[in-house]
């Protein structure tokens, strides 16, 4: 038995409640090392000693190249638990509790692992609708000026004596006039990059947090957009930029003008006086900022007045315009206490509001049910890039990375992740695939059939490419005819139509070392959907049992052979 590989972390993604009755426990072991793993659990407050334990056999729920992940889910008869694991490997048998191995039980219940209390307020409960969301991400400046049209012209407007700029002519009214286009494709959630008044076209250098940028229109245009979305069964998520502001924001300007005498002198992070705005972009300013970007001074959200102000911003857009959630920019660089206050504020207005953090790294720290409901899953893109675009890993390695995405969070958080191939910050995935559209379509199919919210960046469905920022934020190519459009429409239709693809468990069926045939299953108690995709350069053989059921969608399937870049989606019911 490889004891070094065994891992359990209490009160984490290894031990959590799904609701006030159901519990999930996990244990990591070396791959293929154990013959059996059993969980013993009892009432940590029972009145007799020793504690009477019940037990349940655990099953391997996931594997990567190094580890097996055992899991069990059950309805607990107790609110308070103590528990331990029994591990069997050949002739070896050990108990595992308190992070140590033993060959016997003890009377002292405090030595076992503990789940102190299954408290309803500690549950991680993202809004249920997030599991069913299909997100269309719009970069407002680049999308539309009217129905099926964008002017692709620069604009300059005045906002309280300051100049704001647009680059390609997109407006909120233009988005509103194209909601029918999004609905016809099957999208049910709209996420927009910043819409508030800001200097540059991207609108991440904010001048105001309570008004729409005049290049995009008026506040009432936004109200009409939200109402139109809601009338068409679509939710609206907007981008909140609270890590930093623009250097022309009046409160930062007050500090520049008045120095330490400004009432806002403690609103910004690590100021050095006198505060000035360096004209040379190569000069690092005497204040903390976002990513060394001098035009974006960092906000001191740990200050009471600053936190109060931005919680008012949060409340205003939820109450006044009835938005359905926030995507939160540079979320990992903002202090936790602010986000907890922001979360409580949002949920007090609308418990079903979604809070999605921009966290490029592992986001478990922020997914405790008190900070964010979800995060942008850039790891999804990284792993897909290796398997589908660069083809630098085989199915086994890809599946190991997929397993990591599934196991690193509580199950509820996995189903709320915003999975993406593209965003406003990265090269278009189609460009990374080169001329291989078949590989790109398989990546899209995986996006649409993996647990979580698939997010599509505007124009992906029309074959927009681009490696550099100005390219991947290009104007929406309205009127372009591309076969990808029908592929996206069909993939979204399947996701929306098959509950198992939205809410079913995930199980790897085949991911062999040295192969690029990847097969997995999404399962509910009454049905399953199996997906096979072939990234090999040649045909791949499928097992006959995989093909049992009704073929919903396929490309390149001939009998039990699946062609290169082919796929098969097969449904079983019982």
Asked if 533 contacts 445 with a C-beta cutoff of 8 angstroms, the reply is: yes
C-alpha 255/C-alpha 275 separation (Å) is: 7
C-alpha 351/C-alpha 260 separation (Å) is: 40
Q: Which of 213, 358, 379, 460 is catalytic?
A: 358
DSSP 8-state code for residue 160:
T
The reply to whether omega before 411 is within 30° of 0 (cis) is no
Residue 472 vs residues 161, 167, 460, 464, 568: alpha-carbon distances, Å: 32, 14, 10, 7, 31
Within 10 A of 339 (CB to CB), how many other CB atoms are there?
A: 22
Residue 227 vs residues 180, 262, 543: alpha-carbon distances, Å: 13, 40, 50
DSSP 8-state code for residue 467:
S
DSSP 8-state code for residue 462:
G
Nearest to 452 by CA among 554, 384, 389, 390: 384
The answer to whether 33 is a known catalytic residue is: no
Q: Which of 329, 460, 521, 536 is catalytic?
A: 329
The answer to whether 490 is a known catalytic residue is: no
Q: What angle do CA 389, 392, 393 make, to 5 degrees?
A: 110
Interhelix angle 483-497/437-449, rounded to 10 degrees, is 20
Residue 447 φ then ψ, to 5°: -55, -40
Asked if 221 contacts 171 with a C-beta cutoff of 8 angstroms, the reply is: yes
What amino acid positions are annotated as catalytic residues?
A: 329, 358
């Amino acid at each position: 038995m490889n004891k070094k590989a065994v891992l359990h972390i209490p009160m984490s993604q290894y031990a959590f409640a799904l609701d006030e009755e159901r519990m999930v426990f996990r244990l990591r072991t070396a791959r293929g090392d154990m013959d059996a793993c059993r969980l013993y659990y009892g009432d940590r407050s029972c009145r007799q000693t020793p504690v009477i334990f019940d037990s349940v056999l655990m099953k391997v729920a996931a594997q990567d190249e190094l580890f097996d992940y055992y899991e069990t889910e059950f309805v607990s008869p107790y609110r308070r638990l103590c528990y331990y694991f029994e591990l069997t490997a050949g002739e070896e048998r050990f108990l595992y509790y308190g992070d140590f191995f033993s060959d016997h039980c003890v009377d002292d219940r405090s030595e076992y692992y503990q789940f102190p209390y299954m408290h309803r307020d500690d549950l991680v409960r993202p809004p249920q609708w997030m599991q069913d969301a299909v997100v269309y991400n719009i970069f407002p400046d680049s999308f539309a000026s009217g129905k099926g049209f964008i002017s692709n012209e620069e604009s300059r407007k005045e906002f309280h004596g300051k100049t704001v700029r647009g680059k390609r002519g997109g407006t909120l009214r233009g988005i509103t006039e194209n909601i029918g286009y999004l609905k016809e494709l099957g999208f049910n959630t709209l996420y927009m990059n910043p819409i508030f008044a800001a200097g540059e076209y991207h609108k991440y250098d904010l001048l105001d947090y309570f008004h729409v940028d005049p290049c995009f229109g008026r506040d009432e245009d936004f109200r009409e957009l939200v109402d139109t979305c809601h009338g068409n069964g679509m939710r609206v998520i907007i981008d909140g930029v609270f890590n930093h502001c623009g250097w022309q924001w009046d409160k930062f300007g007050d500090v520049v003008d008045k120095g330490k005498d400004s009432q806002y002198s403690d609103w910004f992070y690590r100021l050095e006086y006198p505060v000035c705005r360096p004209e040379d972009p190569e000069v690092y300013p005497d204040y903390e900022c976002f990513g060394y970007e001098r035009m974006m001074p960092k906000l001191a959200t740990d200050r009471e007045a600053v936190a109060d102000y931005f919680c008012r911003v949060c409340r205003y857009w939820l109450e006044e315009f009835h938005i359905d959630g926030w995507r939160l920019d540079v979320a990992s660089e903002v202090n936790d206490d602010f986000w907890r206050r922001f979360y409580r504020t949002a949920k007090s207005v609308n418990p079903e509001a979604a809070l999605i953090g921009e966290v490029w790294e592992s986001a478990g720290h922020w997914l405790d049910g008190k900070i964010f409901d979800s995060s942008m899953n850039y790891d999804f893109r990284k792993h897909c890039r290796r398997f589908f675009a660069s083809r630098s890993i085989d199915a086994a390695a890809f599946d190991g990375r997929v397993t990591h995405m599934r196991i690193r969070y509580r199950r509820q958080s996995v189903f709320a992740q915003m999975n993406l191939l593209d965003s406003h910050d990265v090269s278009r995935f189609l460009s990374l695939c080169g001329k291989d559209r078949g590989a790109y379509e398989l990546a899209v199919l995986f996006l649409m059939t993996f647990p979580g919210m698939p997010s599509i960046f505007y124009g992906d469905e029309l074959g927009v490419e681009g490696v550099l920022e100005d390219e991947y934020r290009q104007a929406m190519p309205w009127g372009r005819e591309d076969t990808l459009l029908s592929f996206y429409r069909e993939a979204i239709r399947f996701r929306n139509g098959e509950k198992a693809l939205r809410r079913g468990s995930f199980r790897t069926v085949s991911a062999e070392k040295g192969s690029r045939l990847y097969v997995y299953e999404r399962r509910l108690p009454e049905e399953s959907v199996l997906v096979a995709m072939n990234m090999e350069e040649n045909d791949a053989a499928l097992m006959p049992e995989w093909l049992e059921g009704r073929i919903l969608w396929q490309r390149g399937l001939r009998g039990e052979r699946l062609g290169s870049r082919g796929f098969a989606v097969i449904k079983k019911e019982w």
